[in-house]
Chain A
Amino acid sequence: MSSNKSAVSGNGIGTKLKNMTDTNLLLGITIVVFFLMYIGAIVFQGAGFLKPQTFFNILNTQGGLIIVSCGMSIVMITGGIDISVGGVVALVTMCCAVNLDFHNGSVLTSILIALGIGIAFGVVQGFLVAYLDIQPFIVTLAGMFFAKGMTTIVNTNPFNVANEQFQALKNTRVIVPGMGSTNRKGMYVDAYVEVGVIVALITVVVLFCVLRWTKLGRSFYAVGGNSQSALMLGINVKRTRFISHLISGLLAGIAGYVYFIHVGSGSATNASGMEMNAIASSIIGGTMLTGGVGNIIGTFFGVLSLSTIQNIVTSAGLDDAWWTGITIAGMLCLFLVLQSVIMARKHRA
């Protein structure tokens, strides 16, 4: 009995190892590319990128995207896709803003609203995808339409939130010790990150642990890799799919609030195109759309690579509007082709 069990687990570890090498290879490439890019930025763009604060600013602006991309990675690892996240983020910012400014809400109620919206989207989409077996693309497309439309219905005009309690939260800065720098006047300025970044980092760490060491995390990989064999192994495929969408929805809610803290306004144009950036980050981070391969740390570096490129483009003085799009697309293209070549080689071997 015990030998049987060990054989099974050994087999599991075997497939795990095979998967991990795939994941680790893509992860390695991502990290190397990110560091090369950052070094390139320092060399060509001057000392601006040498300051730790520049790096922290990337984190500050992309806190929401990091969280959304984590959720996206989980759905993609499970073999689905969730393009409703950008819409959900916009809806969360608008609902929270309306609650804070028009209905005398507090930070607590607005956080509850954010989580509620996220969970609601996750549950409905997860149910439709997992239990009614409808394609995730169509379901979440409808989710995106619904969220974007609802944002306008909740309130048409964008506005900045004036709630004092919220402003206090927005202006909270967590000082990173030992990373400060002296400014031009010779004064020492502490490096800081916003509250949202802490939330994002916690999310990354927690999800990394969940994916690597829990039964649930492993079943995401199993279902994404081959749902038939996952079923044979006794994994509840439908429930796993449901949970992946639930997590993505919940994270979109959290990300919405983090984004909201950063921009401090409710607007229907908030986070437009975020879903595409999240998909791009996940892919650059080594998550495969076919499912079964991916890593949260990779996704984290994917977001950083994406925003470093944006920063380089902006600081190089190129016209933001076109070049950002073109460079991101170029990078995406490169990574996609790379992935496909790697996969083709593996299949041949």
Chain B
Amino acid sequence: MGKTKTEKSGFSFSAILRNQLFIPIAALLLLALFNLIMDPSFYAIRLGENADGFKVLSGNLISILDMGSELAILAIGMTLVTAATGGQDISVGATIAIAGSVILRVVCGGEQSVTEYKAPIIVALIIAIVVSMIFGAFNGMLVAIFNIQPMVATLILFTAGRSIAAWINNNTLPVVNVKSFGVFGNYIPGFPIPTPFIIAMICVLLIFLVLRFTTIGLYTQAVGINENSSRLNGINPIFIKFLTFVILGICVAVAALIKVSRISTINYSVVAKDIEMDAILAVALGGNALSGGKFNMTASIIGAYVIQFLTTTLYKFKVQSDALPAYKAVVVILLVVLSAPVVREKLTQLGAKMKANKKEVS
């Protein structure tokens, strides 16, 4: 009786280990535990007043949810692109600069500093979405039709994107002095939860509905696993690849709206800097194979918040923002080494050996 029990627990344990959500959640728990031991006050959440006199929640956890929103939104699109093409889009940061620039250009109407909208914000958002969909389509065209590796194809926009963003606004930095423009990046008046988190959750909900009620998810995985056989089964791989890049374009425009709304202006050279790397890491951290194929959206989104958790933790320990990447790199390397198939196999063998030894001893 006892024997079967241990066997059963051993089995379920390995099942947990094999579950894709294990890596991001384990990383999250590890970080959470680390913070709990080092400084329990990390988790304090206060209900205070912000500069406008509204009651808002504040604290490290809230700021993680707040600042991680853009990353989570990008992770949605990046997961699809990764799954379909087996490559990553490294131009998302540059495209955020373009979309942000477009939003400001439309809202400001080409002027340096405005106190009222020259065009409704919804128009600006729609134009920005269309523009970044076009850029996504450009990437998609290079990848799907010309068969260029995604990372290289998107290198083109990565190089040119910030220059194009500067060109859209004639190399000026327009400032929007309208209170309501900050809503998307800060708080809705009277509502204590940061708006970016709400936007992110809406996006997450939408993508889950799309994945649940359409075949996009299935087709994407099919194309990623085997392009030829999916074509033989009547799926158009070119269209699917194209589509994933366009979806990523939409995600980028939404993230850009949050980015420009946060500071009511834009700095072409630093806005969303290195965010492409974080987005790719989020996908990798979610245990998704970067070589394409099956994907798990939940894991990617959790991965995005884990990365933000790590960033916030490091800031908490007074790590300089420029030195941040070094610590991130160590964590990333540890994670990928532990999740590498070769290492996992070795660990399993080691575990089996130890079990065998134990049996011999007993």
B323 touches A152 (CB 8 A): yes
Identify the closest chain A residue to B149 (Cβ): A289
The answer for the CA separation of A75 and B217 in the assembled complex, in Å, is 34
B62 within 8 A of A: no
Determine how close the nearest CB of chain A comes to the CB of B242; give it in whole angstroms: 16
B171 touches A276 (CB 8 A): no
B35 within 8 A of A: no
Give A109-146 as 1s and 0s: 1 = Cβ < 8 Å from B's Cβ atoms.
00000000000000000001001111101110111111
Kindly identify which residue among B161, B327, B336 contacts A149, using a CB–CB cutoff of 8 Å.
B327
B159 touches A138 (CB 8 A): no
A340 within 8 A of B: yes
Quick one: given A137-B151, A149-B324, A343-B147, are A329 and B329 in contact (CB under 8 Å)?
no
Give A266-282 as 1s and 0s: 1 = Cβ < 8 Å from B's Cβ atoms.
00100000001001100
B155 within 8 A of A: yes
B167 within 8 A of A: yes
Quick one: given A149-B326, A276-B158, are A134 and B340 in contact (CB under 8 Å)?
yes
B343: chain A residues at CB < 8 Å are 132
Determine how close the nearest CB of chain B comes to the CB of A154; give it in whole angstroms: 10
Give B277-288 as 1s and 0s: 1 = Cβ < 8 Å from A's Cβ atoms.
100110010000
B322 touches A149 (CB 8 A): yes
B323 touches A337 (CB 8 A): no
A: interface residue count bin: 35 or more
Quick one: given A138-B284, A329-B159, are A131 and B325 in contact (CB under 8 Å)?
no
Determine how close the nearest CB of chain A comes to the CB of B26; give it in whole angstroms: 18
B330 within 8 A of A: yes
Quick one: given A268-B322, A321-B171, are A280 and B155 in contact (CB under 8 Å)?
yes
A145 touches B158 (CB 8 A): no
The answer for the CA separation of A138 and B290 in the assembled complex, in Å, is 9
A171 within 8 A of B: no
B2 within 8 A of A: no
Determine how close the nearest CB of chain B comes to the CB of A327; give it in whole angstroms: 9
Give A208-240 as 1s and 0s: 1 = Cβ < 8 Å from B's Cβ atoms.
000000000000000000000000000000000
A188 within 8 A of B: no
B340: chain A residues at CB < 8 Å are 132-134
The answer for the CA separation of A279 and B153 in the assembled complex, in Å, is 12
The answer for the CA separation of A142 and B322 in the assembled complex, in Å, is 15
The answer for the CA separation of A329 and B322 in the assembled complex, in Å, is 27
Determine how close the nearest CB of chain B comes to the CB of A322; give it in whole angstroms: 4
B337 within 8 A of A: yes
B148 touches A336 (CB 8 A): yes
The answer for the CA separation of A204 and B149 in the assembled complex, in Å, is 26
Quick one: given A132-B342, A322-B163, are A337 and B142 in contact (CB under 8 Å)?
yes
A46 within 8 A of B: no
A263 within 8 A of B: no
The answer for the CA separation of A290 and B171 in the assembled complex, in Å, is 37
Identify the closest chain A residue to B291 (Cβ): A135
The answer for the CA separation of A323 and B159 in the assembled complex, in Å, is 11
A168 within 8 A of B: no
Quick one: given A149-B325, A279-B152, A329-B159, are A139 and B336 in contact (CB under 8 Å)?
yes
Quick one: given A145-B326, A337-B142, A343-B147, are A323 and B163 in contact (CB under 8 Å)?
yes
The answer for the CA separation of A156 and B166 in the assembled complex, in Å, is 29
B333 within 8 A of A: yes
B152: chain A residues at CB < 8 Å are 279, 283, 289, 336
Determine how close the nearest CB of chain B comes to the CB of A303; give it in whole angstroms: 15
Give A146-184 as 1s and 0s: 1 = Cβ < 8 Å from B's Cβ atoms.
101110110010000000000000000000000000000
Quick one: given A133-B340, A141-B280, A152-B320, are A329 and B327 in contact (CB under 8 Å)?
no
A316: chain B residues at CB < 8 Å are none
A135 touches B290 (CB 8 A): yes
The answer for the CA separation of A144 and B290 in the assembled complex, in Å, is 18
A343: chain B residues at CB < 8 Å are 147
The answer for the CA separation of A146 and B324 in the assembled complex, in Å, is 9
Identify the closest chain A residue to B166 (Cβ): A322
Determine how close the nearest CB of chain A comes to the CB of B297; give it in whole angstroms: 20
Most buried by B among A144, A148, A149: A149
B198: chain A residues at CB < 8 Å are none
B158 touches A146 (CB 8 A): no
A138: chain B residues at CB < 8 Å are 280-281, 284, 290, 332, 336
A326 within 8 A of B: yes
A62 within 8 A of B: no
A152: chain B residues at CB < 8 Å are 320, 322-323, 326
Kindly identify which residue among A153, A280, A324 contacts B326, using a CB–CB cutoff of 8 Å.
A153
Quick one: given A137-B88, A149-B326, A330-B160, are A128 and B333 in contact (CB under 8 Å)?
yes
B326 touches A290 (CB 8 A): no
Question: B227-275: which residues lie under 8 A (CB-CB) from chain A?
Answer: none
A186 within 8 A of B: no
The answer for the CA separation of A290 and B337 in the assembled complex, in Å, is 25
B157 touches A145 (CB 8 A): no
Give B320-358 as 1s and 0s: 1 = Cβ < 8 Å from A's Cβ atoms.
101111111110110011001111000000000000000
B326 touches A150 (CB 8 A): yes
Give A323-343 as 1s and 0s: 1 = Cβ < 8 Å from B's Cβ atoms.
111101110110011011101
B32 within 8 A of A: no
Kindly identify which residue among A137, A321, A341 contacts B290, using a CB–CB cutoff of 8 Å.
A137
B322 touches A290 (CB 8 A): no
Give B133-163 as 1s and 0s: 1 = Cβ < 8 Å from A's Cβ atoms.
0000000001000111101110111111111
Identify the closest chain A residue to B333 (Cβ): A142
B164 within 8 A of A: yes
B160: chain A residues at CB < 8 Å are 325-326, 328-330
The list of the 4 closest CB pairs from A to B, nearest first, reads A149-B326, A329-B160, A325-B163, A146-B329
Listed A/B pairs (8) with beta-carbon separation below 8 Å: A135-B290, A146-B333, A149-B324, A149-B325, A329-B160, A333-B156, A339-B148, A340-B146
Task: Tell me the B residues contacting A by CB distance below 8 Å.
Answer: 88, 142, 146-149, 151-153, 155-164, 166-167, 171, 277, 280-281, 284, 290-291, 320, 322-330, 332-333, 336-337, 340-343
